[in-house]
Amino acid sequence: MGSEPAFIQRTIEIINGWVTDRSRTVILVFLLTTALFAGGLTSIEVDEGVDIFAQGVPAYEAQGAIEEEFQPPFDETEPTTQVIQRSENVLTGDALVRMLEFQQYLEAHEEYRVEETSSIAEAVARSIDPTATTRDEQIRTLEGSSDATVRETIRDLGDEPSFAASLSDDFSANEPAASATIAIAVHDGAVDESEVQFRMQDAAASMHGEFVVFGGGVLDTEFQNVIEDSLDIIVPVVIVLILVFLITAYRDPFDLVLGLVALIMSIIWTFGFTGYAGVPFTLMMIAVPPLLLAVGIDFGIHAVNRYREERVTGAGITDSMRVAAAQLLIAFFIVTGTTVIGFGANMANDLEPIQDFALVASVGIVFTFIVFSIFLPAAKVEIDRLRQTYGLPSFSTEPLGSEDSALGRVLVAGAKLGDRRPVAILLAALLITGGAGAYATTVDTTFEEEDFLPPEELPAYVEAAPGPMAPSEYTTTASLNFLEETFESGADDEVTIYVEGPLSEDHALESVHRAGTDPPSTVVTDGATAESESIVDVMHDHAETDPEFARVLAANDVSGNGVPDHNVGYVLDRLLESDSREAALEYITEDKRSMRVIYTVESDATQAEISADAEELAADYRLDTTPTGDIVVFHEISTLIFESALVSLAIALVLTALFLMLLYHLLEGRASLGIANLIPIVVTVALLGGTMPVLDIPLNALTGTVLSITIGVGVAYSVHVTHRFIDEYNECQDGYESLVITLQGTGGALTGSMLTTLGGSGSLVLAITPALGQFGVLMVISVFYSYLMAIAVLPATLILWERLLG
């Protein structure tokens, strides 16, 4: 062994003693432990949807308070479904009749559990004949009405905001026409929302595409299906790719099976822990197995390759494993420490799913270290002894990247160039780091629900997947895109100001009016006033039909602007006692302690612009306010992701530097090696960040973790080179010669592990959801950059280290 402290040498000797002298006991203990962890797999719970990313976000909490406190137009304790009608013109008499007939069909059949439906067709029929209260009567009314009567009725109704809101943004009231409309179906509260909505989809499919059904049940089911479908596609591909690469790297069926068993063992331990710990399996967790496979494959190839290097010199099984393990245990420990730091840095993230991801990945890396540092060497020793005892055939035992191989000759190029031009190489690396880092600041940080849903049209390879791998049918993205493109406003085009009172103060409602008189630029205006919905609108609507309330309103409107600014509590009480009570409770609570004001915003404005303007609006209220709505919530999430990604990156860099400096000080008395080890990773992170905007990959919940993960995964390549280099340097005291030996030996294993890691991480590119695919792309790029910097930039760094500090 080298110059390690005595306690480290003693620890290595103990582990080596178990691995080489008690290999069967070690194997038995690990198999029993695996059986124990396997019991936790049945306890894993799947948690789908994007709401998991919003827990704790102030705007999301305000949105939840609104849903609990305010009376919606219908009872939201009962599930609802949107029925979208599409045709050349949904406002013709025939189209209106078809809508009513479909409503009647849904209401009449028990399997849809529909309590009531509402649509513009119903509104038109009842406007023509107020006595037409049943569906049959409404259908007869429309069938018996002339086209002119229907058109005139729609012109009259077109001025009502609630009527126009249900029509596509191409709605024209003068010559009544619109390409789409939305009806609402309200279900029994005890219904299985997903089940009835998929039944309704089947019914709509028989209407030649005129009707589309969409709702929360469909959305939730497809979120869950996308996890299962992604796994169904990714897992077989991962298995095939890993087999191909491991066959190439090991070239021995016994070693191949051993490597696979160790990988499977690591996965079982990790997700068994997940089940026992009660950590939910989210969409992000799909990325954990490929990451563990990446590290496990790296460990496995290095362990077998280093062992083979000793065996080809004629050393025995026990001596070869003792030499290999003595060197690699330290390298594996360093890699594990830095990788855990890289993953664990994401524990600083404010979003719980990312914290869970960081925890599970970190624990998984520790398990992988234990399995590949103790179980795999013990099993390798036992297998080779059985080979000798029973004369089992021996396959390839040559290490990757040997001196006379083509790969070995290519790998030493980094040492040769680094020896000749070390300063030039590091200056070039510095320039690349600065330029790429600056360009990385242009990365998109928008958080979108669609990032976690499949694209509207699935890729051809997904559609062509055979049998068990075939994906479910997905309609959510198409429906969401259609709603966004076709309807002028909705949840995606509005923000809500949640106001906490008391609202009986004379200035409370006046502040609503004042805030909307000169609104920010992204807020849609009606003249000079913001287009909004609030309790004030309900007051005005009620005053038109109730002269007594109109007099009360006017008497308490000192400023004459239509908003009460005197005896506000009394005016609100009168409104809540009237037949407009339900409408009022949509915007104010019964105790008059909170209210909501909804503003329509420009659909082409960015999340950041709208959120900033919502904050500006809220600041004009003389009460406690919180801006909310999907736009604001998603912007807050994206801001948290961006800020947390930078914090995690900083934590990972600092802790990794300190960790490496401490270890190299303890092991070699040369803390400066820790800094040299980190230089290629800094270049890698900067390059990766600069690549994201080039490929139009946003910084979302998944991709935001890649920067710190790159430090964890990428350091492995530099650590293996540096650790082998210093071992060789301690013997020959020649930096260049040490690098040549390192790159021909360890470099070959690095190449093999890089290729297999690319296969494992690259499989995520096949995931159905964009976010997972983007994460896979970045992991592939990250691994390749890390490998490239370890064989191109690190040699020059180590040459300079030798000349200056060695």
Task: Using the structure block, give the residue that is written with the tokens 């691995």.
Answer: 19
Question: Which has the higher per-residue pLDDT, 57 or 657?
Answer: 657
Which of the four pLDDT bands, split at 50, 70 and 90, describes residue 486?
Answer: confident
**pLDDT score of 9 more than 60:** yes
- Measured distance CA(798)–CA(674) in Å, rounded: 11
Which of the four pLDDT bands, split at 50, 70 and 90, describes residue 15?
Answer: confident
pLDDT tens-digit readout, 563-580 = 888 898 899 999 999 888
Name the token pair of 524. Answer: 């849609």
Q: Which residues pair with 595 in a beta bridge?
A: 499, 588
Mean pLDDT of 625-645: 82
283-305 in b/e form (b: 16+ CB < 10 A) is bbbbbbbbbbbbbbbbbbbbbbb
Question: Which has the higher per-residue pLDDT, 376 or 330?
Answer: 376
DSSP string, 158-195: TTSHHHHTTB-TT-BTTTTB-SEEEEEEEE-TTS-HHH
**pLDDT score of 166 more than 80:** yes
**pLDDT score of 344 more than 70:** yes
Which of the four pLDDT bands, split at 50, 70 and 90, describes residue 53?
Answer: low
Question: Which has the higher per-residue pLDDT, 649 or 452?
Answer: 649
pLDDT at 626: 87
pLDDT tens-digit readout, 56-75 = 677 767 777 777 776 655 44
Fill in the amino acid letter for 89.
N
DSSP string, 731-780: HH--HHHHHHHHHHHHHHHHHHHHHHHHHHHHGGGG-SSHHHHHHHHHHH
Alpha-carbon torsion, ordered 153, 156, 162, 166, to 10 deg: 50
Mean pLDDT of 444-454: 74
Mean pLDDT of 658-681: 87
Q: Which residues pair with 211 in a beta bridge?
A: 85
pLDDT at 435: 93
pLDDT tens-digit readout, 353-412 = 888 989 999 999 999 999 999 999 999 889 888 888 777 666 555 555 555 556 666 777
Which of the four pLDDT bands, split at 50, 70 and 90, describes residue 35?
Answer: very high
**pLDDT score of 161 more than 70:** no
pLDDT at 433: 92
To the nearest whole number, what is the mean pLDDT of the chain? 83
**pLDDT score of 492 more than 60:** no
Specify the 3-state DSSP secondary structure of 581.
helix
Specify the 3-state DSSP secondary structure of 14.
helix
Name the token pair of 354. Answer: 């990312």
**Measured CA distances, 410 to 99, 112, 139, 240 (Å):** 71, 68, 80, 28
Least confident of 180-184, 216-220, 366-370, 700-704: 700-704
What is the distance in angstroms between the CA of the first residue and the CA of the last residue of the chain? 20
Least confident of 15-24, 42-51, 588-597, 613-622: 42-51
pLDDT tens-digit readout, 526-559 = 777 888 888 888 898 899 889 999 999 999 988 8
- Measured distance CA(250)–CA(47) in Å, rounded: 38
505: left (phi over 0), alpha (psi -120 to 50) or beta: beta
pLDDT at 39: 94
pLDDT at 402: 52
- What residues have CB less than 8 Å from 628, skipping those under 6 apart? 59, 60, 62, 63, 66, 495, 496, 497, 498
Mean pLDDT of 722-748: 83
> Taking Cα atoms as reference points, which of 293, 103, 266, 87 lies closest to residue 184?
103
Mean pLDDT of 496-505: 84
DSSP string, 625-652: EEEESHHHHHHHHHHHHHHHHHHHHHHH
pLDDT tens-digit readout, 212-270 = 898 888 887 887 787 778 778 877 877 787 777 777 767 778 888 888 899 899 999 99
pLDDT at 74: 42
pLDDT tens-digit readout, 473-483 = 888 788 877 87
pLDDT at 491: 47
DSSP string, 684-743: HHHHHHHHHHHTT----TTGGGHHHHHHHHHHHHHHHHHHHHHHHHHHH--HHHHHHHHH
pLDDT at 330: 83
**Beta strand spans in 476-632 (E):** 494-500, 525-526, 529-530, 532-533, 594-600, 624-628
Alpha helices in 546-580 (DSSP H): 547-555, 568-576
Which of the four pLDDT bands, split at 50, 70 and 90, describes residue 277?
Answer: very high
> Taking Cα atoms as reference points, which of 537, 513, 462, 342 lies closest to residue 768?
462
Determine what percent of the chain is predicted with pLDDT higher than 90. Answer: 22
Fill in the amino acid letter for 537.
D
